[in-house]
Amino acid sequence: MPACFVTRRLPGDALARLAAEHEVDVWPDRLPPQREALIDRLQGCAGLLCLLTDPIDAALIDACPDLRAISCFAVGSDNVDLEAATARGIPVGTTPGVLTEATADLTFALILAAGRRLEEAASEVRAGDWLTWEPARLLGEDVHGATLGIVGLGRIGRAVARRAEGFGMRVIHHGRRDGLALGDLLRQSDFVSLHCPLTPATRGLIGERELQAMKTSASLVNVARGPIVDTRALERALREGWIAAAALDVTDPEPLPADHPLLGAPRLTVVPHVASATRAAREAIGAMAVDNLLAGLAGARMPHCANPQVYDRPD
């Protein structure tokens, strides 16, 4: 019965299914295990179920000689060195599709929050600044009828586009192979929503030049990956009025320290990476992650493998 290490407790009954077939060691703390602790707990383990916040690099993989399967509790695998895993013959599983609708819901919540200044409005009420009804106070931007620019029209981007139809929005998009040029999308959009994966090509995709290309009345929404946006450039854009607002589910760094300069910028909404945080979505992610790990440990093909070339390696 090979042993598995899971880097955090999971909702639902997925871990019970894993424990029915393998020894399972679950990290008990709220914060992730530090590198040394992670390597130590992985000694003798054949399986790893990790989160996006757990860096699994080549050196860590080399330090864990018994490791045979890695499953990510995430739609992406950018925390894992796929080349190193493949070289060791280790399949890496991900959980695509199951968080699409929950993430699209959260995206639209952030679009509305940015456009209608909801965080500022709620803060005024709590601070006792709601003194009367004022015609010119907290004026935001219309969402209905606005132009929504989607960067990355994959599963989540398309789900956001469907929601935009209900608001009568004009939807445009930029992709690797189709759509508008990024600069054209930025100049036309009232709301820019990021849904592309984090790759070398998209790291820092939205920097000073791109933010300055946007309308001064526009809002930026990011539910993809923090490093797609240059954090310093975004802070400057908000302080100097290059754009009207930003709403983020992901940041760089993540989490943002409480004293980070970006948090002092105006018209900013930040939530703590909760796009998939519904009971149904998180339980489905856990179930898929365990399915991947069970298959990998059984020597079968993972249902959702990020490095399928591992199965083409010679024995």
Q: How far apart are CA 95 and CA 72, in angstroms?
A: 7
Residue 1: pLDDT over 80? no
- Contacts (Cβ under 8 Å, ≥6 apart) of 180: 149, 172, 173, 174, 188
Residue 122: pLDDT over 70? yes
How much is the pLDDT for 274? 96
The answer to whether the beta carbons of residues 164 and 171 sit under 8 Å apart is yes
Mean of pLDDT values over 9-18? 95
pLDDT tens string 251-279: 999 999 999 999 999 999 999 999 999 99
Give me the catalytic one of 23, 141, 254, 283.
254
Other Cβ atoms less than 10 A from the Cβ of 114: the count is 27
Residue 14: pLDDT over 90? yes
How much is the pLDDT for 147? 98
Give the residue among 76, 204, 215, 70 at the shortest CA–CA distance from 147.
215
The phi, psi pair for 247, rounded to 5°, reads -135, 125
How much is the pLDDT for 42? 97
Mean of pLDDT values over 24-31? 95
Residue 315: pLDDT over 60? no
pLDDT tens string 124-143: 999 999 999 999 999 999 99
The answer to whether the beta carbons of residues 173 and 149 sit under 8 Å apart is yes
Give the residue among 244, 13, 20 at the shortest CA–CA distance from 117.
244
Query: pTM above 0.85?
Result: yes
Instruction: Output the CATH code of domain 3-98+279-312.
Output: 3.40.50.720
Residue 313: pLDDT over 80? no
Give the homologous superfamily in CATH for domain 100-270.
NAD(P)-binding Rossmann-like Domain (3.40.50.720)
Give me the catalytic one of 41, 195, 267, 273.
273
Other Cβ atoms less than 10 A from the Cβ of 231: the count is 18
CATH 3.40.50.720 placement within the chain: 3-98+279-312, 100-270
Query: Computed from CA positions of residues 268, 171, 152, 174, in that sequence, does the dihedral angle turn out positive or negative?
Result: negative
Q: How confident is the model at residue 314 (pLDDT cuts 50, 70, 90)?
A: low
Other Cβ atoms less than 10 A from the Cβ of 35: the count is 14
Residue 2: pLDDT over 90? no
Other Cβ atoms less than 10 A from the Cβ of 32: the count is 17
How much is the pLDDT for 123? 95
- Contacts (Cβ under 8 Å, ≥6 apart) of 215: 187, 189, 190, 243, 244
Please indicate whether residue 254 is annotated as part of the active site.
Answer: yes
Please indicate whether residue 173 is annotated as part of the active site.
Answer: no
Tokens, residue 98: 């199951």
pLDDT tens string 73-117: 998 898 999 999 999 999 999 999 899 999 999 999 999 999 999
Give me the catalytic one of 225, 267, 282, 304.
225
- 92 DSSP β-pair partners: 70
pLDDT tens string 161-194: 999 999 999 999 999 899 999 999 999 999 999 9
Mean of pLDDT values over 211-218? 98
Q: How confident is the model at residue 285 (pLDDT cuts 50, 70, 90)?
A: very high
Q: How far apart are CA 241 and CA 260, in angstroms?
A: 19
Mean of pLDDT values over 209-228? 98
How much is the pLDDT for 76? 87
Residue 29: pLDDT over 60? yes
Q: How confident is the model at residue 201 (pLDDT cuts 50, 70, 90)?
A: very high
How much is the pLDDT for 312? 85
Please indicate whether residue 22 is annotated as part of the active site.
Answer: no
Give the E-state strand segments of 38-169 in sequence order. Answer: 45-50, 69-72, 92-93, 147-151
Give the residue among 95, 120, 78 at the shortest CA–CA distance from 250.
78
